[in-house]
Every structure is written in structure tokens, then in C-alpha cells.
Amino acid sequence: MFDKQDLLDIARTEMPFGKYAGRALIDLPEPYLLWFRQKGFPPGRLGQLLALTLEIRIEGLESVIRPLKR
């Protein structure tokens, strides 16, 4: 499950490393998120948020998250 803070964090947290460093998690390309699922999400909070972001993208709900960006 997730809560309101998870949704805010997905909208406002920037990817801290890699090809898409600096991009909000909700704006990461779906193939990149799928790659993480296949290879393993990073440990901790970032991994949790990336997994949740993928589920939101798969369900087509990113339009609910984007208005939460600053």
C-alpha cells in the first residue's frame, strides 16, 4: 500500500543517479522502470518509490501524480 506522502515523493523526488539523474521519478520512462524491476530495484526508500512509480505508470495513473509536482 501507499499513502499521500508516497505520491508526493514520486512527484517531487529526483532520480539521484544514472542516465536520468535529476528527472522526477514520475517522469522516468517506463522501459527504464521495467529494467529496474528486472535487475532489481535499489534498496531502501528509492527502490520502494521506483516500484510504486512503475505500478502507477502501468495502470496509466501518472496524470494523477503530475499535478503534485512543484
Q: How many domains does the chain have?
A: 1
| Full domain range(s) for residue 34 | 4-68
CB 24 within 8 A of CB 12: yes
Q: Considering the entire predicted model, what is its pTM?
A: 0.93
> What DSSP assignment string belongs to 46-69?
HHHHHHHHHHHHHTT-HHHHGGG-
Tallying the residues shown for the chain, one arrives at 70
Across-strand partners of 14? 24
Convert the pLDDT of each residue in 11-69 to its tens digit: 999 999 999 999 999 999 999 999 999 999 999 999 999 999 999 999 999 898 988 98
